[in-house]
Structure 1
Amino acid sequence: MQSRNSRLNSSALRGAVDLAAVKAAGEAAQKAEQARAERARQTAAGGDPAAPPAQPLVIDVTEETFETEVVQRSAEVPVVIDFWAEWCGPCKQLSPILERLAEEYSGRIVLAKIDVDANQLIAQQFGIQGIPAVMAVVAGQLVPLFQGAENEANVRKILDQLIAVAEQRFGIVGAPVDPAAAAEAGEAAAAAPRVPADPALEAAHDALDRGDLGGAIQAYQNVLADRPGHTEAKLGLAQAQLLRRVESLDLQAVRAAAAADPKDVTAQLEAADLDLVGGHVEDAFGRLVATVAKTFGEDRDTVRLRLLELFEVIGADDPRVVAARTALARVLF
């Protein structure tokens, strides 16, 4: 599927980088906490918190059902999204693999199938430029997986990594729990007071939702001035800065410049930004690691710092970030 316009716009990119501009992530995390408390109560009552859900594991999703079936459900289980179309030959090879694995994983993931022809707004919001494309949503946060057909062995490895990330970062994939500890955790979660909204952070999120990237950047910087280690503000700032960098770029011109001169730092930085926004996370990281290896002095430091910024967008615990950090260390030292 080709993009209708090679010039990107910020409203489409917000969906591609992070659902509801990190605001949904906080809401989904809260729902995940509630779901964990409910599973804890079920365990204490003799139930099985890891039992497969009653809902179907493979679902067709539309623009009308996306919020419920993908964003809300991602608070309890990773939702893998298969972007496909009837005319797409490679989709017909990949989709049965994804469907079979979704059933095999018995509730550890849910597969959401989105027909890009029937749901063009969602495809635009995710920045889909070609299909098949596979992404995931975990606790409201977007995790780009891969584009193009993959064999079953590779898909299985990717899904295993996704589940590991969901367990480590969000704790939303069920596992056996000690009943006494579960009961205690459930009671504590139920009794915990609701944390009031942070007005400064909400202002930053709202600015990002409106497409006011300059205002969002300033608002996130205000939060970080008072609380330098605030994780959500750091993530929001990195995303807002990325969106502002790419909103006026021309896809074709940037890619042509990057291909023409691998040592052109500006072109490689812009191409890496576009790679990341388009869901090609490993390509973005690989491009900048390779550029670090080819450059020296201020140019090398500029590229290195940009790579660290992109790590912030994806998250430090993501396996692709861990691998890229290792690769970066090899070329630096």
Structure 2
Amino acid sequence: MSQTSPLPPNATPGINLRGAVDLSALKNRATAAQSGAPSGGSPYAVDVNEQSFQEFVQLSQKVPVVVALGSGRSHQSAQVTAVLEKLMNEYGGRIALGRVDADTSPQIAQAFGVTAVPTTIALINGQPVPMFEGELAEEQIREFLEELLKVAASNGVTGNLGGAQDPQAPAEPPLPPLHQAARDAIDAGDLALAQASYEKALAEKPNDADAKIGLAQVQLMRRTAEINVLQAEELRTRAASDPEDLEAVLAVADLDVTGGHVEDALARLVKFIGTHFGPERDTVRVRLLELYDVVGVSDPRVSASRQALARALF
């Protein structure tokens, strides 16, 4: 069971994910975390609030950044933050940590669709990467950070807040032209062009695994970017009250993955597949496979979901 605490009911929607993570506004800044003065257990960890959040997002063009959404009311939040701070020191500036108090900065929690703390989310080039919710053991958190660095490297984000590259890190080869075009389009906020570039790459090379993953990621970005906070609340209400509402089921699964609630998203789709037949079932199955690519086929949550899917299908 996930050890999380609900957010206070007076958390006021004010920004959606697109507004909080505005790709078109990102600049190529190579500074350390300017969103706040380093404090606590790591020089690579800063306190982030609604006013400084955009500056912290910009840092994700240089290094992957981790957003730890917690609360002073939650002992688990303090435990997760302490482990993350320790690990930030181990990684020596290859990852930055932003500590967010969801009680005093509810709009950041709303931006990611977070309803309980602690929840941990990452950003690479301003785009959310699913992490985990609740409290995990240090080794499990380290595994998530190792995967985060791999995803960051595949997207060209290999900086170091100490001003130097990791001498043991191998040099990254240049991206194929269409992959680079997609990356450039994402940086410019043109997700439609990024999608077209990945689709062209797959047309030329159908077994291009990186293009397949990139396409799934961009498609998820486009779908969730069109949903504001109020619409998200309405979709969640619809999905809860009517399990047959295909549009709501798919949208809430997207929002859950973006917000880090991966298990909930995958379980929701598997449950729909297990109780439906025909075209709707196939539609949900295709979406589920796309989300597997987004989360990562080696992720243990995907492995568990695949087993549940097999049971649902057979």
TM-score, with length taken from structure 2 = 0.66
CA distance in 2, matches of 1:168, 1:83: 20
Task: Kindly provide the amino acid, as one letter, of the partner of residue 290 in structure 2.
Answer: E
1:195 maps to 173
Query: What runs of 5+ residues in structure 1 fail to find an aligned partner?
Result: 21-54, 173-185
Which secondary structure state, in structure 1, belongs to the residue aligned with residue 140 of structure 2?
Answer: helix
For 2:168 and 2:251, the matched residues in 1 are separated by 50
**Separation in structure 2 between the aligned mates of residue 171 and residue 252 of structure 1, nearest angstrom:** 33
Asked whether the equivalents of residues 58 and 102 of structure 1 are also in contact (C-alpha less than 8 Å), the reply is no
State the alpha-carbon separation in 2 of the partners of residues 111 and 13 from structure 1. 16
Identify which of 66, 74, 80 aligns with 1:98: 80
- Of the candidates 124, 149, 156, which is equivalent to residue 136 of structure 2? 156
Q: Cα distance, 1:195 vs. partner?
A: 3.0
Q: Which has the larger radius of gyration?
A: 1
Counterpart-to-counterpart distance in 2, 1:324 and 1:11: 32
Q: Which residue of 1 aligns with 2:256?
A: 275
**Deviation readout 1:276-303 (Å, 9 max, x if unpaired):** 2222211111110111111012222211
RMSD, aligned CA: 3.9
**Greater alpha carbon shift after TM alignment, 197-206 vs 136-145:** 136-145
- Opposite residue 143 of structure 2, the aligned amino acid is A
1:4 is matched with which residue: 14, 31, 39? Answer: 14
Q: How far apart, in 2, do the equivalents of 1:171 and 1:242 lie?
A: 20
TM-aligned CA distance change 1:268 to 1:13, over 3 Å: farther
Distance 1:240 1:100 in 2: 33
Query: What residue identity is the alignment partner of 2:78?
Result: P
What's the CA shift for 1:309? 0.7
Secondary structure, aligned partner of 1:156? coil
Greater RCO between the two (CA within 8 Å, min separation 6)? 1
Query: Partners of 1:66 and 1:246 in 2: how far apart?
Result: 18
More helix by share: 1
SS in 2 for 1:90: coil
Aligned position for 1:175: none
Aligned to 1:127: 112
- What is the aligned length? 259
Cα distance change of structure 1 residues 195 and 295 upon mapping to structure 2, 3 Å threshold: same
Q: Is this contact kept in 1: 2:72–2:78, CA < 8 A?
A: no
Distance 2:197 2:258 in 1: 22
Partners of 1:73 and 1:195 in 2: CA distance: 18
Structure 1 counterpart of 2:100, which letter? Answer: I
Answer yes or no: is 1:229 the counterpart of 2:204.
no
CA distance 1:2–1:297, change in 2 (3 Å): same
Does the 8 A contact of 1:255 with 1:271 survive in 2? yes
Of residues 111-120 and 233-242 in structure 1, the stretch that sits farther from structure 2 once superposed is 111-120
Please name the residue that 1:325 is paired with: 306
Letter in 1 for 2:42: P
The share of aligned pairs that are identical, in percent, is 34
Paired residues for 1:203-218 under 5 Å: 203-218=181-196
Q: 1:221 offset after TM fit, Å?
A: 0.5
**Structure 2 gap segments, 5+ residues each:** 1-10, 27-40, 152-166
Equivalent position of 1:143 in the other structure: 130
Alpha-carbon deviations, 1:238-267, whole Å to 9, x = none? Answer: 122123233334213212221221122222
State how far apart, in whole Å, the 1-side matches of 2:183 and 2:17 are.
Answer: 18
Q: Is the 8 A contact 1:12 1:125 kept in 2?
A: no
Q: CA deviation at 1:125?
A: 10
Give 1:258's aligned amino acid: A
After TM superposition, the structure 1 stretch with the greater mean CA deviation from structure 2, 235-244 or 280-289, is 235-244
Q: Secondary structure of 1:114's match?
A: strand
Q: Offset of 1:107 from its aligned partner? A: 5.1
Q: TM-score, normalised by structure 1?
A: 0.62
